[in-house]
Amino acid sequence: MRQVVLDTETTGLNPKKGDRILEVGCVEVIDRKITGKTFHHIIDPERDIPEEVVRIHNIDNERVKGCPKFREVADELWQWLEGAELVIHNAAFDMGFLNAEYEILAKERNQPFKPLESACTVLDTLKVAREKHPGSKASLDALCKRYGIDNSHRTFHGALLDSEILADVYLMLTGGQTDLLLGDEEDEDEETDESALVNLGEVQGALIEVAPSAEELEAHQAFLDMLAKKTGQPIQWPK
């Protein structure tokens, strides 16, 4: 399954009052594995950026000079998102802005407007977090603290940075990143030799002990250390 973790930064809170997108960042996840592929643009919103929002994301009027306008990245973004499940924290906000941008573009091109939901599905991690942890804070920072995810480098909001952090949060929120437990390659389907299983069950005598190598013991300890860091509790494993 292909998922795209997405975040935007904007000039304000309401696209119906003329606020626009000024940054979009996406991280690709396939079969619960972060692939390393990203989509990121700082965008000229074609309007003034208020000082109060600059303090949030550190993107001011000077920084967007020479950056592409949304219409210049819209087709590439649509293709990047098409067919995927979008993973967004407080999805109504980002989807509202994205659809507002595509509606403006449709009018400019004299085309019928198609909402982004016609090309992909959406999962809201804010709703997932509230259902899983009722009564607890569900902000991205709060979830990072809950799941032991380092976000100390997040001095400002940023679309790509927040998407990268949200990808880690989403995988922990929904059960952990399964590729840590499975191999990098998919298991191939093999036919089961039932007669071999029966014969194995009839084997008599002492079982052979196979001791792990030093490298395997080191990898095992590293995995336990990762679990301890994620859970915030020491992992007691019998020798």
Please identify every residue annotated as catalytic.
Answer: 157
Alpha carbon distance 75, 91 (integer Å): 21
**Helix ranges restricted to H, the chain:** 51-57, 70-81, 91-108, 125-132, 140-147, 159-173, 194-201, 214-231
Which two three-digit tokens encode residue 196? 């071999």
Residues β-bridged to residue 26: 6, 39
Burial of 33 (0-12, 13-18, 19+ CB in 10 A): middle
Residue 72 is which amino acid?
E
